[in-house]
Amino acid sequence: MVIYNVTVKIDPVIHDEWLSWMKSQHIPEVLATGYFNKCRISKLDTDEPDGVTYALQYDAFSMEGLQKYMALCAPALQKKHIEKYANRFVAFRTILQVVEEIYPTERIRN
């Protein structure tokens, strides 16, 4: 599995509106491209006065599909985000290749 991770620090003044837009518009548009199985939204557990930080993790079906997404779809979708929230966020993107998922074989209960 390949994870396309987008980390965004958003201005706290517009945080609520941005998060709503991400959930109702941007993420559904990204998923509608057909290159991803799902999106996971995680908020970093930090208290910073200059912004609220999120990690958006999109599970890609394949590395080839992710490369097509980045070439064919990402520029236009990123442009929409930049136009709407210019100078109100910083973002960086990383690609994670899942090596293995390990689950507990037994659980110790206290």
| Model pLDDT, residue 47 | 83
Q: In percent, how much of the chain has pLDDT > 70?
A: 100
Kindly state the tokens that stand for 79.
């442009």
Is residue 110's pLDDT more than 80?
Answer: no
CB-neighbour burial class of residue 3 (10 A; exposed 0-12, middle 13-18, buried 19+): middle
CATH class given for the domain over 2-97: alpha beta
Among 85-89, 94-98, 101-105, which stretch is predicted with the lowest mean pLDDT?
101-105
pTM: 0.91
Question: Which residues make Cβ contacts (< 8 Å) with residue 98, sequence separation at least 6?
Answer: 1, 2, 3
